[in-house]
Amino acid sequence: MQKTIKYVVYDIIRNRFVMGYTLLLLLLSVSFFWFEADPNKGLLSLLNIILMVIPLVSVIFSTIHFYNSYEFIELLSAQPMSRRTIYFSQFLGLCFSLGMAFLIGVGLPTLIFDGSMRGLTLVSGGLLITLTFVAIAFLASVITKDKAKAIGVALAVWFYLCILYDGMVLMVLVNMADYPMEKASLVFSALNPMDLARILVLMQLDVSALMGITGAVFQNFFSSTWGVFISFVLLLLWVITPVFFGYRIFSKKDL
């Protein structure tokens, strides 16, 4: 598996898009911190990039890469290699490449300008978001052999998690305003990795006062050690679950 992972990583690193993606993130990160006297403002600006741009790039690039490597995957399947080795070598190689691009482009400037717990939380959450959408892209890719359909499914999931879900939750909270919905909002947050990452960072920035009574509930839960631990466990589950189902489908799929 190690040799296959090295080949996948080497192939992706040579991709000009990945190099440009890394440099663009690095330029944006340095600019946000350089032109803002308060590191908190730089972190908030980076948070918007992490929650919108990084998932979109991860899910599209991962889906395209899977289909561009389809002939290579077929070649590997003809060799005495297990489906498990083929699938996870592709997945881990892509996770390593995009993860390193994120750590160099966002993680390095963040830790240099703000190496506190706030910066570590932002970098950790962004890295898990990257891995989550790589896993979602692989799941969408193994479901169908149609490249266009797979990209459409992956984009639909991105649109739902990044844009549509929050609007639906807001509509529910507004319509149920007469009932105590503070704890229910915690459950809603757990069902979306974007909300988990966003709230974790916002709680570290002490802006919960802007969120009213719900913000106080979030502050009590997500600022505690157990709250942070559970949140990161949930984010890990968002990575593991698509990988598990994607592997189950891939192991039985007729290539």
Give mean pLDDT, residues 191-210. Answer: 73
Confidence (pLDDT) at 209:
47
Tell me how far apart the alpha carbons of residues 158 and 193 are, in angstroms, rounded to a whole number: 11
Q: Using the predicted structure, report yes or no on whether residue 51 has a pLDDT greater than 50.
A: yes
> What confidence tier does 218 reach under pLDDT thresholds 50, 70, 90?
low
Confidence (pLDDT) at 240:
93
**Which range, of 45-54, 85-94, 238-247, averages the lowest pLDDT?**
45-54
Give mean pLDDT, residues 201-214. Answer: 58
pTM (two decimals)? 0.88
- Whether 224 and 208 have beta carbons less than 8 Å apart is answered as no
pLDDT, tens digit (0-9, with 9 covering 90-100), for 119-134 = 888 899 899 999 999 9
pLDDT, tens digit (0-9, with 9 covering 90-100), for 239-248 = 999 999 999 9
Tell me how far apart the alpha carbons of residues 70 and 148 are, in angstroms, rounded to a whole number: 14
- Whether 187 and 194 have beta carbons less than 8 Å apart is answered as no
pLDDT, tens digit (0-9, with 9 covering 90-100), for 9-37 = 888 887 888 889 999 999 989 888 888 77
Give mean pLDDT, residues 90-106. Answer: 92
DSSP letters for 154-215: HHHHHHIIIIIHHHHHHHHHHHTTTS--HHHHHHHHHT-HHHHHHHHHHHHTT-GGGGHHHH
